[in-house]
Every structure is written in structure tokens, then in C-alpha cells.
Amino acid sequence: MINPEPLISVIMGVNRDEGNLHKSINSILNQTYTNLEFIIMNDGNSDEVSQIINQINDNRIILVAKEKIGLTACLNAGIDKSKGDYIARQDAGDFSKQDRFLNRLSFYKII
């Protein structure tokens, strides 16, 4: 039986803030579909990135600090940590529409 509200694991690799990181993160946290975990891979273990993320109070965020290993390796490490039924990607400079996940799940008749 399909879970009526499957967990979505959102994976983001980031190694610096170019001014939009907080807005990008909020575009995921403010989704109309809320059953998600947000795994943010701090690639390069930047104090700046950690400070921004630690200011956001949301228990769906899982911050993982890594030495600089590159985006692909970071994303793979994030997938290894994920518990979701589905994986979604978000780049640090991307902004998601508020109904991004709800639309995808509805389109594929998952919910």
C-alpha cells in the first residue's frame, strides 16, 4: 500500500552563500506539502553556511558538514543519509514554487 503522505528527502549541496541561501532554503520549508526532510550538505564545512542554517529553526533540516568533496560526492552522501520515499534536489541558488512537491505528487498520482 502506498503511504498517503510519502516522505520527500530534499538534498542540497552548498559550500558558500552568494546572498540567496536563506531565501532558497525557505522556498523549501514553506512548501504546501510539508512531509519532507531537508538534508543540507555543507561542502567545505563553511562557518558562514552553518551560521545561516543554524539560525533557521525547523526540525526538518538535517545539516551535515563535510570537508570539500565536491557537489556530486556531497549529493551522494546526502542520499545515503536520506530516509524519504522520494528524492528531490535543490541547488543553493534555486527557488521553488510553494506547491512544487504537491504538484509533482499529484501529477504522478502518488497522493
pLDDT at 3: 62
pLDDT-based confidence at 80, cuts 50/70/90? very high
Question: What average pLDDT does the structure give for the chain?
Answer: 95
- The proportion of the chain whose per-residue pLDDT surpasses 70, expressed as a percent, equals 97
Q: Work out the average pLDDT over 76-87.
A: 98
Please state the pTM of the whole predicted model. 0.94
Query: Half-sphere exposure of residue 79, counting CA atoms within 13 Å on the CB side?
Result: 10
Question: 13: helix, coil or strand?
Answer: strand
* H or E, element range at 42: strand 36-43
Q: pLDDT digits over 27-64, tens only? A: 999 999 999 999 999 999 999 999 999 999 999 999 99
